[in-house]
């Protein structure tokens, strides 16, 4: 009844409506957008700008905004610092190890679990599970396992007459850290590859096999190229993550022994919170930001360009 009487009325109304609805529309837009915008600007955009600003001051982090302007001194000091040079070296080592060892391993396991083998659902759940555990749980667990004297790893390996100092020795600490990272993160990359593999139509694989391609040839010439976009994204995420690596290192080694596993984020926290040199620490964060940004821009421009173009043509614009 009500709809019958209201319906025609509503249809006749539009003529005077626009003025009020237009204002109403703006109020709606503002009310819906502002809460997110305010929070985002206050806690993401502004702190980024403050970090940029603070990086050219000598500042202990107290008493309003910094006033002791020292130009680029923090940066020159940073670039001549031995610890920072080591941080960059560690970043390079971890990125190379990830790209050359961890990701191919993840890809191989993803291809394995794409086969019809018994228990593959269980393996998927199992391999991905460490990714769900916090870095702190992983870190503490492995710091106990890799402990030099009482740790499980050495107790087991001593049976074969082979022990290592793992995290306690500057020579073995980076490989050990990488081992833990692989335990925790390879399942994540495996899942991305599995999802990417599912987007490849099986007809293409079957067609290659009908043409006489063996398993390896099918993978090399059909599956791998079609997984290209997925692999490129997985490398991208891996590098961006490694630039900011903090939790795992902080828990496992604290950056030691004698800075031999320190990352930029650990150095930054050390100067910022333990020694209250917020200006200098801000310079470190600015360099981290610049590295991420330059890497992202260069990578998207030169490596992912084809993928992004594909996305634009198929979806009519990036999301």
Partner 1 sequence: MSHKKPLKRRRHTLPLHVIAIIVGVFMVIPVFYALLGGFKDNSELSGNPFGLPSEWITANYTDVLGSGSFWRQVWNSTFIAVVTTVVTVGLSALAAFVFARFAFRGRELYFTLFTAGLMFPFAVAILPIFVLLRTFGLLDNPLGVILTQAAFGLPLTIIILRGFFRSIPGEIEEAATIDGCSSFGFFWRILLPMARPAIATVSVLAIVGSWNNFMLPLVVFSEEASWTLPLGIQQFQGQYASDTARILAYLILAMVPALGFYAIAERHLVGGLTAGATKG
What binding mask, one character per residue, do residues 256-275 give for partner 1 by CB under 8 A, x or -? Answer: ---------x--xx--xx--
Residue with tokens 């059909």: 222
Q: Work out whether 282 is an interface residue with partner 1 (CB under 8 A).
A: yes
CA distance 227 to 205: 12
Q: Work out whether 155 is an interface residue with partner 1 (CB under 8 A).
A: yes
CA-wise closest residue to 246 among 273, 276, 279, 277? 273
Q: Half-sphere exposure (CA, 13 Å, Cβ side) for 218?
A: 16
Q: Work out whether 244 is an interface residue with partner 1 (CB under 8 A).
A: yes
CA distance 236 to 296: 8
User: Binding partner 1 by CB under 8 A: which of 8, 14, 16, 119?
Assistant: 119
Closest approach of partner 1 to the CB of residue 71, in Å: 19
User: Binding partner 1 by CB under 8 A: which of 70, 95, 99, 128?
Assistant: 128
Which region, judged by CB under 8 A, interacts with partner 1, from 50-58, 72-80, 83-91, 206-214?
A: 50-58
> How many residues line the site for partner 1 (CB under 8 A)?
91
**68 by DSSP, 3-state: which?**
strand
CA distance 185 to 182: 5
Q: Which of residues 183-202 bind partner 1 (CB under 8 A)?
A: 183, 188, 191-192, 195
Q: Work out whether 28 is an interface residue with partner 1 (CB under 8 A).
A: yes
Strand 57-58 vs strand 68-69: parallel, antiparallel, or unpaired?
antiparallel
What binding mask, one character per residue, do residues 200-229 give for partner 1 by CB under 8 A, x or -? Answer: ------------------------------
CA-wise closest residue to 45 among 288, 53, 269, 30? 53
Closest approach of partner 1 to the CB of residue 171, in Å: 23
Q: Which of residues 64-103 bind partner 1 (CB under 8 A)?
A: none
Q: Which of residues 131-150 bind partner 1 (CB under 8 A)?
A: 132-137, 140-145, 147, 150
26 in Cβ contact with 18 (< 8 Å):
no
Q: Note the Cα 316 to chain centre separation in Å.
A: 27
Q: Which is nearer to partner 1, 35 or 212 (CB)?
A: 35
Q: List phi, psi (to 5°) of 303.
A: -100, -45
Q: Work out whether 35 is an interface residue with partner 1 (CB under 8 A).
A: yes
């Amino acid at each position: 009844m009500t709809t019958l009487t209201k319906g025609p009325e509503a249809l006749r109304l539009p003529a005077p409506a626009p003025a009020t609805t237009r204002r109403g529309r703006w109020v709606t837009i503002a009310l819906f957008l502002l809460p997110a915008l305010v929070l985002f600007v206050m806690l993401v955009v502004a702190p980024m700008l403050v970090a940029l600003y603070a990086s050219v001051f000598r500042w202990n982090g107290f008493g309003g905004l910094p006033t002791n302007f020292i130009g680029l001194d923090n940066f020159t000091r940073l670039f001549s610092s031995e610890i920072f040079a080591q941080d960059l070296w560690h970043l390079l080592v971890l990125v190379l190890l990830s790209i050359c060892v961890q990701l191919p391993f993840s890809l191989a396991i993803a291809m394995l679990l794409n086969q019809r083998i018994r228990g593959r659902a269980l393996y998927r759940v199992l391999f991905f599970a460490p990714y769900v555990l916090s870095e702190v749980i992983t870190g503490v667990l492995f710091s106990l396992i890799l402990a030099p004297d009482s740790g499980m790893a050495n107790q087991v390996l001593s049976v074969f007459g082979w022990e290592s100092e793992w995290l306690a020795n500057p020579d073995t600490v980076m490989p050990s850290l990488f081992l833990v990272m692989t335990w925790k993160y390879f399942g994540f990359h495996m899942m991305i590859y599995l999802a990417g593999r599912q987007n490849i139509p099986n007809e293409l694989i079957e067609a290659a096999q009908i043409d006489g391609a063996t398993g390896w040839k099918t993978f090399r010439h059909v599956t791998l190229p079609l997984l290209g976009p997925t692999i490129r994204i997985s490398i991208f995420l891996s590098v961006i993550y490694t630039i900011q690596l903090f939790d795992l290192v902080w828990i496992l080694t604290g950056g030691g022994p004698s800075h031999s596993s320190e990352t930029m984020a650990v150095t930054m926290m050390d100067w910022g919170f333990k020694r209250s040199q917020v200006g200098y620490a801000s310079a470190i964060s600015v360099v981290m930001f610049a590295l991420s940004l330059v890497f992202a821009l260069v990578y998207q421009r030169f490596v992912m360009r084809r993928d992004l173009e594909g996305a634009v043509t198929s979806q009519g614009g990036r999301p």
